[in-house]
Copies of this chain bind each other. A is one copy, B any other.
Amino acid sequence: MIGIEVDSLAVRLDRLLQATTAQGLDAALITSDESIAYLTGFRPIQMERFFGVVVRPERSAVIVPALDRGQIDDAPEALARISYGPESDGLPELAGALTGAGTVGVEEDHLIYARARALEQVGFELVPAGSAVMGLRIQKDAGEIERIRRACELVQEGLRRAFEWLSPGVVEHALNARVEGWLRERGATAAHPLILFGENAANPHGEPGSRELRRGDVVCADLSACLDGYWGDLTRCATVGPPSEWATSAWQVVLEAQRAANAAAQPGVPGRDVDAAQRRVVEAASDLGAVLHGAGHAIGLSIHEPPFLVPRAHEPLPERVVLTIEPGIYRAGVGGIRLEDDVVVTTGGPAILSDLPLELVDVSA
């Protein structure tokens, strides 16, 4: 859909090496699951065992637990394979791969303190450099955009199912579990449905509980799923029976806010301006409820990744960042209305990766 190439893993690694040396660093240490997946094609699930990629001129390497050695066959050839057994915690092998480097850029929002300290104690100087890898990950290539689009396609099919299953008496947590199971059976490697009923929907961080669906409820259905490594995340709303005056008005305002934020999502515009575009609309309707969060966030290998569309986001958006745009209005004791789409920022205007109507559905009709 967007005429750009699909990057190879080797190209990504090379770009990260350039970004690292351009910052005057001797090496970069990549430790987050998603950045490792971005560079190697394999997404580890790290618990106590260390897994990392060292990027440096001529001597890049991937350090893996021996158990996972077989899973990194697709990683670029430029990465030396270093594995360690159960007698090690992987840090001596990591220090070995960094030998001779003075300054090491790290993913400061992921590296844990114990490992940072161990590296500093053997003489490496750590420098926050998460923006180097995020500066690459933020711009999606055609293959990544297609994968996010397919995740959205699955999620919107899940939303259609969820709405079919919304009949009075259904229990909130059981419905969420059913939708999660449905998404997983269709190949999602992870899925987070958050479908909240009536007054529970007034809390955007609510947890599905034993509440039964009743006639007159508003339903706020936020579904996300990870398919083939990439996330899709959409929200639609419904009512059980004809919508109340509040629900109709809130939905209209949120729809207008979403359109305003979509229109603002242009290359070169700072994230805070996208937030401001929706905030202006929803805050003008404060009689309908509270504004509890920003306009959204970027999405890709992570379900939440920078930039976050909040008032302190002053960096200009690049082309081909994919954003969730998700304004909402919440009235305590009554419910919440939120509309969310995933949008590619392009010079030609925002490209929305789903085609599910935004309408407020009466599921009893």
Contact = CB atoms under 8 A, between A and B. Distances in A.
A160 to B, nearest CB: 18
Interface stretch (A7-15, A143-151, A177-185, A239-247): A177-185
Nearest to A86: B310
Contact of A182 (B70, B111, B176, B181): B181
Contact of A178 (B185, B204, B304): B185
Given A67-B205, A86-B293, A108-B114, 17 more contacts: A48-B304, A67-B204, A86-B294, A86-B310, A86-B311, A87-B311, A106-B113, A110-B112, A112-B113, A113-B116, A113-B128, A173-B187, A174-B185, A177-B185, A180-B181, A181-B181, A181-B185
Interface size class of A (residues with CB under 8 A): 35 or more
Contacts of A178: 181, 185
A128 B112 CA distance: 11
Oligomeric state, in number of copies?
A: 2
11 contacts: A47-B304, A48-B297, A67-B293, A86-B293, A86-B294, A86-B312, A173-B185, A177-B184, A180-B184, A181-B182, A189-B207
Interface in A108-153: 108-114, 116-117, 126, 128, 130
A292 interface: yes
Contacts of A113: 106, 108-113, 116, 126, 128
Closest 3 CB pairs of A and B: A181-B181, A177-B184, A108-B114
Contacts of A126: 113
Contact of A87 (B176, B177, B308, B312): B312
A147 to B, nearest CB: 17
A203 interface: yes
Nearest to A187: B173
A68 interface: yes
Contacts of A47: 304
Nearest to A183: B177
Nearest to A112: B109
A205 to B, nearest CB: 6
Contacts of A294: 86
Contact of A177 (B110, B173, B181, B293): B181
A126 B332 CA distance: 41
A114 B108 CA distance: 5
A130 B110 CA distance: 17
A207 B68 CA distance: 12
Contact of A128 (B68, B117, B130, B189): B117
A124 to B, nearest CB: 12
Contacts of A130: 114
A182 B67 CA distance: 30
